Structure 1
Amino acid sequence: MADVHDSNTRSRNMAAIRGSDTKPELLIRRGLHARGFRYKLHDRKLPGRPDLVLPKFRAVIFVNGCFWHGHGCPQFRWPATRQEFWLAKITGNMERDARNIDTLLSSGWRVATVWECALKGRDMLSPVLVLDTLGQWICSGDRRLSLHGRHKDTGRQV
């Protein structure tokens, strides 16, 4: 499918996409705060600058956009233009994410990833379910959690 914008408009749109304080991130932050959890934001001392850091629980939470982090869900499509650039960019992001998570886990941190598709789109989960699941995970001893939407190909929710 051809792009509906000219290259200058598309460039401006892509440059305007936020890296922090996104709507999904704010939803998670407000919901966890309302449930009594306290956290730090974007700690530069930790690999990957996690979106939320809960030192008391030795847990970090990443809120990842499906496009930028190459999530294999209906929200993600490889761009039709500049394919080499996007392949290098997105696979680089995925490799960096994996390295950062491995480093965090080996340093004793617990890591949760909330994918954008869990909070947006036709396959989204209810925000209450996402926040309840995160709250339970934070208090548990589980090392990893990945939350994504209900995908028809897998039928899995959480």
Structure 2
Amino acid sequence: MSKKPESGEWAPPPGSWASSPGNRRSMLGNRSRDTSPERALRSLVHARGLRYRVAAKPLPKMRRTADLVFGPTKVAVFVDGCFWHGCPQHFVPPKTNPDYWSEKISGNVRRDRETDDRLAAEGWLVLRFWEHEAAGDCAAAVWDAVTGRRSGTRK
């Protein structure tokens, strides 16, 4: 049973662990797909003539989805957010609830490595980009990987 807040005190809705109304609004606004960096990359890759699946499972029994999946060539593309995936350049640990966030981010990084290893074991090429990387550079890398695999020069 949850404790009722004193009058005027904010209480998160049941099931939420947000520490303030502002944090809750911010967290609700975080997208898990179709972020600006993903859309920019998809647009450039599509303009180059490559076709892909969006937010798809590379492996049927895998619970994780890649941002772009090139099934026939077995290329999975992930655009990782600097905060959620612990970017070495831009990640700043939150001051509020640091133990939770430390475990959350390190768990995300562990899951990313496990995903990479599992896909590689099945013959997939995994491309990971940070959200701050130039979309044009990422699109060129995707183009090189997919066309290289199509032509038989698997990387």
Q: Does 1:23 align with 2:26?
A: no
1:64 to 75, 80, 94: 80
Q: Does 1:112 align with 2:141?
A: no
* Deviation string, structure 1 residues 65-119 (Cα, Å, up to 9, x no partner): 011011211x21111110010011101111111111100000111100011120x
1:137: Cα distance to partner? Answer: 2.3
SS of aligned partner of 1:38: coil
Find the counterpart in structure 1 of residue 145 from structure 2: 137
1:54: Cα distance to partner? Answer: 0.3
2:136 to 123, 128, 149: 128
**Runs of 4+ residues deviating >3 angstroms:** none
Find the counterpart in structure 2 of residue 81 from structure 1: 96
- Counterpart AA for 2:66: P
Find the counterpart in structure 1 of residue 106 from structure 2: 91
1:130: Cα distance to partner? Answer: 2.6
TM-score by length of 1: 0.76
Of 26-35 and 44-53, more deviation after overlay is shown by 44-53
Find the counterpart in structure 1 of residue 66 from structure 2: 50
What are structure 1's unaligned runs of at least 5 residues?
1-5, 119-124, 143-158
Aligned residue pairs total 129
Find the counterpart in structure 2 of residue 151 from structure 1: none
1:55: Cα distance to partner? Answer: 1.2
User: Sequence identity, in percent?
Assistant: 33
Question: Contact between 1:61 and 1:113, CA under 8 Å: does it hold in 2?
Answer: yes
What are structure 2's unaligned runs of at least 5 residues?
1-18, 149-153
Structure 1 distance, partners of 2:51, 2:121, is 24
Query: How large is the Cα RMSD of the aligned pairs?
Result: 1.5
Question: Contact between 2:75 and 2:126, CA under 8 Å: does it hold in 1?
Answer: yes
Of structures 1 and 2, the larger Rg is shown by: 2
SS of aligned partner of 2:66: coil
Q: Does 1:13 align with 2:29?
A: no
Q: Does 1:41 align with 2:57?
A: no
